[in-house]
Every structure is written in structure tokens, then in C-alpha cells.
Structure 1
């Protein structure tokens, strides 16, 4: 133990943790952190967007310390440990005396290594368990023991419980060394990981695979060159710039672990490059490759006669930029989109003052309602229009029941009707719209259609549609409610309303007559049920891919 306390890895852990502890204490929620705190209010084996690891960490941390610091406490520890583990990974592969300054600068110069060293986001445990998996994999390569196999199987499951991107680390590591299939213990690793991950798989099954449908069906789109070029440009800028990616690609692996690291870098960036042909790629999705990139970059630079001054210059530039960002998160000197651009403390206070004790229902957002609940202690709800996406609020019947049939205030970023009142908070604006006897149907009623596939433009259609109650909450349908179908196209959207009254029964099958869209093209279609007079519709069905010829 004394040797560990004196090690450079432990010193790095302490230094990073001290900085992150202060950062977490003084910074308001950033990005989606409040949303994952909201996850943790109701622990489950899965959530709409992600597996449950981040929810558990936020819940446990909040039970130890109050405020944002509590929510971030365990991610602070994990993120700081990620730095130490990467250092240990480098230390074990270095063939010469370790250049501590270079190793530390490589880690500190990465934007996402810094952000995911304290923020309560799924990527923080993802990075921790990714580097821990690689660290234990090295032990398993040299010592094929039951204990090493057990540890690797457990960490593989925890990696998957953090974020689905973890499968890339596992998959590309296995692809780098197919001789693993000749080890009996390898099948034990697979079995352990699957057994431990089974509760989440079962959760997906029981909820009709919402995350898989969202990621692989609802999020995909047609090829757009700007998505591919945007991905390439963003990754070039965020990896050093370029230093980490280029150096890690130039390095030639010397052993099985280094080969796994190289496969991870090439595989992860290649996977998302191919994915960019089918949709937009978020810039941080490749962050799971950072441990491998940093380690390979160090080994490449170590092999040179001297580290180029340009490389040190770029690393210092990145470090200064990150330092400015960290200071900004504390003092809110300037807004950074998707991070500190909506002033959650001020927003929550202003909305509570304007709500006049009416429950709030947010429209097309999920961070603001989560932040509102955290900073005020008052429950609220959120709904999404069909031009947005589903969120965890679509799976929160208790919160939904609290606003059902009540006089509420809708909070939106655009005006909904003549009664909408503008409220400005810093650089953001919200519209407050009073709604009496509010009714929401998402998650309560489900609509399915047979034969909703391809169709000829402008031709009459007669769809057999089933409308069924899928919850113990909510009222029966009435003459005040209507069923509609909306088609989303590249150039135009069209919708049709069912022209007969809906029956007040828990299950009904009806024939929906309408004309196919007049303009040919590829569409997505969705059914909605809404109270007549509501200015928008919600999701009451899956998305259907339609080809109108």
C-alpha cells in the first residue's frame, strides 16, 4: 500500500480528483447531467436513452452529498481513476523511462478526457470501464487464470451497463486476437458478461426495445455529404487537433495488447465514419477510443529521437483552451452550446415564480424539466411533439398522472397560441401557455396499423388500425379526442384526421380512410391521439418507413 500511495499514478489520481471536486462543487449542471439525475430518482434496469449505470452513480452520490457535487461524486472518482489507469497502461507498455510530463500532457490536452473526468454523463463510466477492461485484458493475456477471466467478464458487463458503445471496445479487442477462441476461459468470460447483462436485455424486451428502435430506426436518415464531411472535420479538430489520431495510427504494435489498442482506434473511428453515411454522428461518440489513442500516441512519440516542438505546442494550446472552458463553467463567462447555455438555476427560479402554482409541462425538451425539478424540488412533466424524439419522460406514468386532467402551464421554446406569454431568462426565451383540463395520451394509448407500407401517391388508402389502452392510468377516449396520422417527408409534411368519433372502449379496431401524400418520396409516418384544439400531436405509435411512389 505505501508503494501505491507514492506512485505517480496515485499522485495523478489525487491531483485530478482535487480539481474535479472543486469543479463539481462550483459548477451548475452542464449538458444532460440533470436528466441523468432524473434517471436516478427511479432506479431501473434500463432507460430510454441509455443503460442504467449513470442513474445508479447519480443516485448513490446524491445519497452521500447534496447538490451537484453529490450527483457528480462517483463520476468524479471514476473520471480521476481513468487518468491513473491510462497512466498505468502506458507505464506497462513503455520500453524506456517513462516521460511523465508527456503522458500527463497527452491526457490533459483532450477535451473529452477532461469533461468525462467529472461530469455525470454515461461517457464517464464508459471511459473508466473501457480503460479498466484493457488493463485487465493485458493481465489475462499473460495469465490465463479463473480469477482474471472472472474480472474481465464482470468489467465487460459493467462496460455495457455504462453505454452501448462499450460493445465496440469489446468487439474490436476480440477481433484483434482471434486466438482467444482457443481458450476455454474465454467462453466463461462471455457467459459471465451475458448473465450479468441479462436484466437489461430483459428490460429492453419488456419495453419493446425502445433504445434499439431509436438508435437504429428512428435516428437514421438518407445519405448526406455534410454528415460525412462534418464527422471528419469534427474528429480532426477534437483529437489533438489531429495529434492523437495521426500518431496512434502511425504506431506499429509490438504485442497483442497494443494490437488491440490499434484495432480499437481504427475500428471505432471507422465504424462511426460508415455510420455517418446514414445519419449525423455526435462528436463525442468516438471518445471511447481515447484510452487506446493516448497510449499509442505516447508509444509513437517515445520512439522518436525527440518529441516535435509542434506536438508540444498543440498540446499546450489544447490545455489552455480546456483551462478556459473549465473556468467558464464556474463563472459562466460565455455560453457554450449544449453545455452551459441555458442557466438552469436562473431558469428554474424564474419558471417557478411565473407558474402561479400550476403544474408545468415542458414541450420538446428533457434537460429543462429535469433541472427544474432538481433546483426547485417541484415535480413537473415533459411531452414531445412528433417532430421531436421520445425521452425518458415517455416512460414516467407517475409524473404523467400528476398533470392528467389538471389546469397546467405548457413551457415551450415557441409560441403555441394567442395566450402564450414570453419569458426571457438570460439568453434563452420560453413561452408559457395555460391549458385547462390537460390530457396527454402518449404511453397510455398505442396505435398499430396493418398494411402501412408502400403506396402510390394521391391514391385512396384504407388502413385497418387498432387503438388499444396500454396503461392502468388515463381516461377512456371521448368525442373530445381525435386520431390522426402524420407523414414526414424530405420536402413536405402532411397529416390526416380520422373523421369519426372514437369509441370509449379500451380496445377498438377501425378503418382509417385517407389519400396518400400527393408528392412521391420517402416518408416516416406516425399515429397520434390528442385532445381537440391542442396545438400539436404526440407519439402514440412506432415510426413507419413509407415509400410513396
Structure 2
């Protein structure tokens, strides 16, 4: 009893110190680009956003109401991280754990990528906490299927899904390992209740034409397979665990399942690893995607160490080395002089201040950079917008109404200096990037115009084909401001070439506000007989800006 009490006190002291250090780092470290983007989300709270569900925006907003600057954005990250570590400790039910409390602190504090979510506020930050809460509630549910545990499991599942869509993988693999739950009415109560909790986001998806899902499953360009995608993914599995990875992965192989909860944890680990391995055959996977495996891996590793002295000693040494490296890298995020390269947290205050001066404090329109737009706005307070074209991808700036704030204003427009002579230029420390711009006295873009067609394939446009232009704006759009192009795409939806499109005579010279216009268009160029094109879409260049995403993708044949 005395040992247990002392152990619990050690855990509380560790978590208090960890929370304090993470709060301090949150305060003194500049934002990374994704954090600035989620700060932009939080300026207008909603039940969903183009890239992610709303949990990260909620925590950013709540923290920003309490504190200004970086600390406000990140304030809840240290508490969510420490809460996850505490729940992991509770999930380890071996009485021997109280004899090795310091080893648990060392192990949980040294898992490399996991520690980043101790102060960065990213979608994975609440995801890790709510996923640990889900496993905690699931274990309790297996032991006692009462109302409290049903409610906790339902709530944790919905909050996981409010954090990040791929939380579904952990939920699915955990339940697939215990298929008998499908015959349990209390399990279905938990699932049904979680859907009720998640209904506001489902409604938001429906109201926004399922834009995030359509983009990820249909519109986005896929990559041609490269062996490096798979090797980078496998190396990432090592990197996220740190120098203790041999002990960590060895433990899950050697650990035998004691019960259905263990079976679910192990099934989830291998399921997530294999899922993203197959994903690497199609595109580059990001290191944080399989991050959820860290939770069960810490549990298995620590439990195995309790009964194997030699393993325990090696784990302690490797974790100590990993912790030292993690601490150094965290210091390097604050002080650039410690490393021979720049990171995202370096120099953002400097380049944004310089750009504000050179752009004369005007609203800034960035080209294909939601990251720069949100970072610039965060540090300067100046309104910024990301104008996205077909060379980039859709994001929150395309979904919301921010474009309207820039119409017919004098702005600083960021451009490609190889195509247009710039009026000014600033340099970012991160990757030595250059940002060039010009001044535009009357900026206008019509990115929300939509092109609707019933054409089944590209051949329909070889002769005049009916299309409909939909204008959602509160002002007329002069047709002379618009140039239409046909974009041919390969099977991975990458741009092959651009075709000129003729807009045939229309009685109307403009698309009136909040209305549609029917007209005929046709391809002005001849099509080559042999081509790798498999998809086609119409696009519009307004006021000589790069083409947007106005037309839907249709097959070539």
C-alpha cells in the first residue's frame, strides 16, 4: 500500500512537471505552419473544416480566450498530453508497476514524436488524449457494461472522430478483434449514442456537399508509386518511437494476450501498421498518421519490462538516450543556433514583420499557400488570403467566405517572380524560401463560380456543348473577365496539358448576381490521338489569374 501511494505521488509529480515544462515551451516557441492554419480555423468556430473535424479549432479558440499569442493557441496541449499519459498509467493493471514508476516516466517521456503533442496544438493532440480515453473506457466496458461505461465509450468515440477522421481505424480494429461484441446490445447502444454525439459534424458535412471527403477520395491528385514512400514509412515507424524502438517492437511480438483487451490492442497496432503500409503504395504517408500505435506499444513495452530485468535495463538506457535527443531538439526549436538547419519555428516573426513593412500593411493574397497566409495573419494581425489554383490543392480558404473580404480592394499579391517582375521580396528562414509580390489596385477573383455539365466525356466538347455557370456572388460577373480552359489529367489526376476553350456567343454579357447562365463551349484545339489522359475538367481563369477548381472531374472516355 505504501509503495502504491508513493508510486502514484511520483506519477503526479512527473505529470505536473511535464505540464509545466510544456506550458513554458508553448510560450517561448514560435508557431509551426499547421498550428497557424488551425488558429485560422478557430477564428470562425464551426462543426467542421475542409481539412479536419473541429476539435483542434475548439481547443485553440478556448485557449486564445484565456491567453494571447502562442500560449493561447497551445494552452490545452500540455494538459491533454499529461492526461493521456495518466490514462496509460491507469491502463497498466500489473501490481509490479509501482516498483518501476521512474521507468514508466522515462519511457512515456522519451517516445519521440508523441512528445511533440505535449506542446504543439495539432489535430493529433486531442486525438491522442481521446483515443487513450476510448481505450480506458473500452476496458471498463468489457469488465462492466453499465450505463456509465456505455456513455464514456460513446463519448470518447465521438470525440476521437471530432479530432481526426482516421480515429476510425483504431475504433474499427479494436472492435474487429472482439467480434462477439456485435451480438451485445450494450455495444450497439454505445455506437448509436456516439453517432448521436457526432451528428452535428455529419450535418455539417452534408451541408457542405461532403467537400473534405470528395476531395480526399475523388479530386486530389495521387502520386505515382516510389519505393521511397514505403521505405520512408517504415523508417517513420522507427522514428516515432525513438531509440528504444527495438525494445518497443520486440515487446509486442513477445507479449501474449492475457484477455480480449490485449487482443484488441495488438490487433489495432498491426492493423494500423498494415493499413498505412498499403497506403504508402499510393502516396507519401506522414509520420504522424500511425501515431496511435504508440499508446498500446507503451503499455506492452512497460508491462514486458516488469518481468524481464535484462530487457528493462536496455529499455532504460535506450529511453534515456532518446529523451536526451528529444530535449535537445526541443531546445533547438527555440534557439536556431543550436542546429545547422532551420525549422518551422524559426524566424516567423521576422519574415512576417518584414513583409508587413514592404507590403505597406495592405491585405495580402498569397498564391497557393494557406500556411503562409495563416502564419502571416497570426503574427501581424493583417488580413490574408490563400488564392489556390490547379497547381495546388483545395483548403479551408476555398470553403469559407474569406475571399469576399478582398474583392475590389488594393492588395499585395504574392506571385511567381519567374513569371511576373516582383515589386518586393522577403526571405523565410525555413528552407530559405523567397516570397515575392506586387501591388494590385482592384483585386477580384471568382473562385466560387461553378461549372456544371452533363457531358459524359471529353468528346462531347469537340463540338459546342451546353454548360451552366453558377454565380454565388452578390454582384454580376463580366464574361469578358473570364477565360475558360480544358485541363487534361492522367490516371493519378495530375495535369498533363491545358486546352483552349471557346465560349460561344451568348446574349448575356455577364452572369448576374446569385444566378446561373447557360451557354455553349467547345475545345478550340485538336486532340492528339495518343495520350495518357484519363480525366478532364473545365476551369476558369478570371482576370488572368491561374485557373481554379470550378469544373468537376469527368472521364476522358
Task: Return the TM-score normalized by structure 2.
Answer: 0.90
SS in 2 for 1:278: coil
Alignment correspondent of 1:103:
104
Please give the root-mean-square deviation of Cα atoms over the aligned residues, in Å: 2.6
Alpha-carbon deviations, 1:239-282, whole Å to 9, x = none?
33433334323322211221111111101111111111222211
Change (3 A) 1:150 1:518: same
Which residues in structure 2 correspond to 1:46-445 (within 5 Å)? 46-90=48-92, 92-93=93-94, 97-217=98-218, 218-241=220-243, 242-243=245-246, 244-307=248-311, 310-333=314-337, 334=339, 339-340=344-345, 343-397=347-401, 399-412=402-415, 414-426=417-429, 427-443=432-448, 445=449
Aligned to 1:349, the other structure's residue is in SS state: helix
Residues 522, 545 of structure 1: 8 Å contact kept: no
Quickly say closer, same or farther: Cα 1:226–1:171, change in 2 above 3 A: same
Structure 1: 4+ residue segments shifted above 6 A: 2-5, 335-338
Q: Is the 8 A contact 1:94 1:299 kept in 2?
A: no
CA deviations over 1:389-415 (Å, ceiling 9, x no partner): 111111231x31121122221124654
Q: Sort the Cα spacing of 1:519 and 1:417 in 2 relative to 1 into closer, same or farther, 3 A.
A: farther
Which of 12, 19, 30 does residue 21 from structure 2 map onto?
19
2:488 and 2:533 in contact (8 A); partners too = no
Displacement of 1:387 in angstroms is: 1.1
Residue 228 of structure 1 deviates from its aligned partner by 2.2
Instruction: Tell me how far apart the structure 1 counterparts of residues 279 and 190 of structure 2 sit (CA, whole Å).
Output: 29
Indicate conservation of the 8 Å contact 2:7/2:101, yes or no.
no
8 A contact 2:457–2:555 mirrored in 1: yes
Q: Judge conservation of contact 1:386–1:526 (CA < 8 Å) in 2.
A: no
Shift of 1:190: 0.7
Q: Does the 8 Å CA contact 2:113/2:241 hold for their aligned counterparts?
A: no
Provide closer, same or farther for how the CA distance between residues 330 and 263 of structure 1 changes in structure 2, counting only shifts above 3 A: same
Following superposition, the deviation at residue 531 of structure 1 comes to 2.4
Instruction: Measure how far apart 1:128 and its partner are.
Output: 0.3
Q: Which runs of 5+ in 2 are unaligned?
A: none
Question: Of the candidates 472, 495, 498, which is equivalent to residue 495 of structure 1?
Answer: 498
Q: Give the superposition deviation at 1:26.
A: 0.5
Structure 1, residues 217-251: CA drift from partner, whole Å, max 9, x if none? 31534443332232222223333343333432332
Matched, 1:507 2:516: yes
- The answer to whether the Cα contact below 8 Å between 1:86 and 1:291 also exists between their aligned partners in 2 is yes
Alignment partner for residue 40 of structure 1, among 23, 42, 45? Answer: 42
Q: TM-score, normalised by structure 1?
A: 0.91
Displacement of 1:10 in angstroms is: 2.3
Picking from 520, 533, 546, the partner of 2:544 is: 533
Instruction: Tell whether the 8 Å contact from 1:61 to 1:71 is kept in structure 2 after alignment.
Output: yes
Q: Tell me which moved more, 512-521 or 343-352.
A: 512-521
SS of residue matched to 2:205: helix
1:10–1:219 Cα change, 3 Å = farther
Distance 2:8 2:96 in 1: 22
Task: Tell me: CA distance 1:414–1:269, structure 2 relative to 1, closer, same or farther (3 Å).
Answer: farther
How far apart in 2 are the matches of 1:127 and 1:257? 18
